[in-house]
Structures are given as C-alpha cells and as structure tokens.
Structure 1
Amino acid sequence: MKEKRIETEEWNPLLLPLKDGLASVVVGKEKVLKLLLTALLASGHCLIEDVPGVGKTMLVKSLAKLLGCDFKRIQFTPDLLPSDVTGVSIYNQRTQTFEFRMGPIFGQLVLADEINRTSPKTQSALLEALEEEAVTVDGETYTLPSPFLLLATENPIEFEGTFPLPEAQLDRFMMKIHMGYPSPEEELVILQKHGAGSPLKNLSPVASPTDVLNWRNEATAVHMEKELQQYIVTLVQNTRRLDKLLLGASPRAAIALQKAAKALAFVSGRTYVVPDDIRYLAPYVLSHRLILAPEARLNGETTEVLIEEVLARVAIPFLQGARV
C-alpha cells in the first residue's frame, strides 16, 4: 500500500494554527498530528504506543494548551484504585450528607499515562467513560465535561509490572498510534528547541473547546456515499473470515472507521469522503482490535500486515464524479 494518499495530505485552513502550534513542539510528526486531530474531531479516544522519550506526553500537553481545554493527567501505577480515577463520595459531617469529589477523569483532555501499569480492576474504571462519556459512582451517574478526549500511553517493550489491556478496553479506543523516532535532522531541531527550556511555555490557545464542538459537528456532516459504507462493512467482515485471526473487527470498529473517515476528510479540507480516507485509516482503527491465532503469532504475523492483505483483496469502490 502506497504511503501517499489522494487528498489526505492537505489541511483544512481552520486547523492550520492548531497544526502549526503542535508542530512547533513535536517536530517532524505531521502524520501523527493529523491522526490525533482526526480522532479528536471524530470524538474518538487514542492509544499512543511507543518507547519512552519520543514525545507522547509532550504532544498531549501541547494539544490541551492550544485548545484551552481543562487538562488532567492520571499516572497509572499498580496500586492505583478505581476511585483514584473516577472520584469518591466523602461524608460531610457539617451537612451530614455525602459529597462527590470528582477524580481526574473529569477533564476535557485527559492523559492516561502508562495505562498498562495498573490492574485490570482500575483499567475497567475507564470503560464507561470511554464509551458513554460518563462515570457511575455509588449508583449515581455523572456526565463528563464536553468536549471529552482521553489519550492513553503505553510502552510496548516493557512487560515487568504491566497488565495487557483486555479486548473490551482496546475496542473502545478509536485509534492506536505509534510516534516513532525522529530523523537525525529532526532530532537536531529538537535539541535546539529545548536548549532554552520547554517549548510548551511559548504556547498559547489558538482555539477553544467551543471550536472543537463546532468542528465535530462539521465533521459529522461530511458526506459519505453508500458505496463507501458498504466498503467499510466488507473490510470489517473480511477480518472475521481470516483463519489467522481468533477475533476480527467488531461492529464498533466499523462505526469508528466511518467516523474517522469523515473527520479525516474534514481535517483535509473536504466535505466528502474518498476511498483513500478509509484505506489510510484502516490500519490505525482496526489493528489493535484484532487478535492473532497462536500459529500466526508464532509465524511472526502482525495484525497490520493482515489488514494490508484485506485491503488488497477488497475492490475499491468507484464513485461516479469523484476522484478515487
């Protein structure tokens, strides 16, 4: 599959100040920035997986500052409790009533740092928040702030003291993104930028939470032909027929791919979806939702490669009057 995609490398002029602000801090990661903003405008949460020190936390902090969002950070550790995430009801002796004290999940942009370092019990505290943007404590349901976006990070090479995310948790992340190491030229620029301190201190808001909500509405209104919806269904259905997989993509994955494709079209400055939006996003939206069969894993297969195979086998729909 070719790296360059038709019309996916352009940018919506409305988002250029945000893109330029992120690029001033996170060097050489335009592809990652576009994926992140696509997830933001598709109301989808992201799992950012990579080795330490490549800018995962810096990226999330920069996005929150540029958007003027209420930023919260949760440092996941083995002893973290669900109530440390969602909040807890405390008895007030003066009023003789229980008062709910909100946990750090009550932010507009929440960083779940090293999410795989906490126990499955605490990880499960995020399930309702990721799916319904609400949390339930002591039988009472509380709505999270809007817009709400959770960005989780994990280190792929450490296994000591980690707990793999269960399938139900992974299925609630719209995308899984890898940052990657910078090139020598980019790393030199990073050293120069950090020579006088953190570049975060020079950032100021270029948009607002209201702008995010408006952009989300515009992304939702992006036109998608019925043939492209059928294309998504065929791709997802085909993942369920592969002998090399124990688990294929869920209907939630199909919904996520449709939302992401519309958002990518908007981020790219278009009012319509093209097949390459779907093809470009499929590895990021589907790969973490698939489970390899034991024999395929032993043979060194990866879910990313299997998605490429599915994309190669399914015919790209022809849209009359559209560039494909």
Structure 2
Amino acid sequence: MKPVIGITMGDAAGIGPEIIVKALDTKELYETCRPIVIGDAKILERARDIVEADLQIHVIKEVSDAQFAYGTIDCIDLDVLPADLPFGQISPAAGDAAFRFIEKAVELAKKHEIQAICTAPLNKEALHKGGHMFPGHTEILAELTGTKDYSMMLSSPNLKVIHLTTHVGLIKAIESINPERTYTVIKLAHDTLTRAGMKQPSIAVCGINPHAGEHGLFGNGEEEEKLIPGIERAQAEGINASGPHPADTLFFRAARGDFDIVVACYHDQGHAPIKVLGLEAGVNITVGLKGGVIRTSVDHGTAFDIAGKNIADKRSMLAAIESAIELAPKE
C-alpha cells in the first residue's frame, strides 16, 4: 500500500500553497504515495492559478473521499481563511489557520488515516498573533501528541543527522547533554529507521570536543561522562551504535555510506554539513512523536518576499514529501 501523506498548508500568506501545488504537479509522486492537502481549498485554487497548473482541486471532508489521482489535488478544506488574504504580510488569521491545519493532520495521524505529515512553513509571529504561543511546528506537534522525548532529524539524499540539542547556546547545549539523552536519541534514530523498513541501521555518534576528546587530551572528559554511557546502553540492547567519532571526518564517512545516520551533539554541528549539501535538498523531520507520528518539513521559511509571484522553488517540498514516504511506517 502506498502511504497516505497529509500535507499541511502552513502560513497561507507565504509560499506554502504555491510549492504544494508545484510539487503535486509531479506525476511520478503518485507512483509512490497518496498525497492529500490539509488546508483551505480557495487558497489552494488561488495558488493553482498563480502557478498556472492544469490541476483540479477536489474538495473533501474525509480522507476516504479522496481520489489520489494525478491531475487532481485532494484537499480537506477547513475553510478558515478569507479569499483575499494578502501575500507576504503577518496575518493573525493565517497564523491561526496554520495551527488548525496541523491540528487536523495530527487528528488524522492518530486515527491512522494518514501515515505521515509533511508541513509547509509557518510564520512564528503570525502564529503568536493568531493566539498560539508555540516556537514552531515541532512544539505544536509535541503538545498535540503528548510527547516529551523527541528530536530533530535532518535529511538530505546522502546524509541523515539527528540532534541531541538544537536551539540553545553552545555552552547550554553541552551542559544539557547527559547519558540518558544520548541513549534516548540513539533509540529514537533506531526506532524511526527500523519502522521505515531498515534492518539494523548503523548509528554513529559525534564527539563533543575536537577529535572526540582524544582520550582526555581535549576538553574535560565530556565524551566519557555524557556520551559513552548512553552509547554502551544502546549497544547492550542490540542497537548498532558506535562512537563517539571525531566530527571533522564523521560526516564525510556517513555521506559516503559508512553509516545510516549521525547523532550530532548541537545545532551547528549537525546543520552545517546538511546545508553544505544544498538547501533545496534538505528536509527537517520530527521523530519520537507518540503514536509513531512522522512529520517532515521543508528546510526553509515562508519567504514572504516572493509569495504570490510564481518563483518559489518546489524542490525542498518534493524532498520533504519523499522523506515522509521513506519514513512512513511499513508495517
């Protein structure tokens, strides 16, 4: 069975609707998945006209009503936005709608009507003005699924990275790493990849210090204190984890195929190698959500400056949908 991928529209004042339409005007996509948009049908129709796509918008209320056929975009229409929503402007209505789209997607995922969620970008200021005080999609998803332990994964065609810490300063990041968090993220990586059909994924953990500390030569024993006990615990459970490895060579080794995924210790350690490989190919993934909910996202923002101009690039959205297909549970 081809997985049903629920695609949320994000902030409709940005480029989300345009890149969704452009991505779903890709015939080959329908050979590997059954996409469905969760958003506002009239905004989707406006985007269709802007990009001059020869596609029909099929308005539905239930997933079971979808046609899943190339040439038709199935849209669960929440009908929460004005038809004349301005492009490129902060809008409380758009912020509230973005929240409602993801709320509906989580509801469908919990009922197993969709196998993965793929999100177009939202705007944090609009989200807040719309009455939803979350930093972004990840925290909304964690709240809606009742999840405490989750992590950010980044994916590109040749490299996957999962993070121990993300949006905190470097000193705080290192302070917050501990054996329990190391083990938890290794386990999240293992469980996510095995559910996606990969047998015994190879997981490599980055060192914190240069040369992974080189047996105490660099740093203050952070690898021995914070990383190695978590790695050993995972190994004792039969998980194929190794490290800590020096970060300056690990990403090269992973990109050439030595490892299936890298555990990065802090934000830039993991983000920089992915983004060097190309912003258009990067995908942001939330893993560990309760109920096995998989969420992927484009690795860019709402791009208010080009919204409505038919110049937005669809490649990151296509990559996000393809990652959702890849990681959707195969059971």
State whether TM-score is above 0.5.
no
With structure 1 as the length reference, what TM-score do the two structures score? 0.28
TM-score by length of 2: 0.28
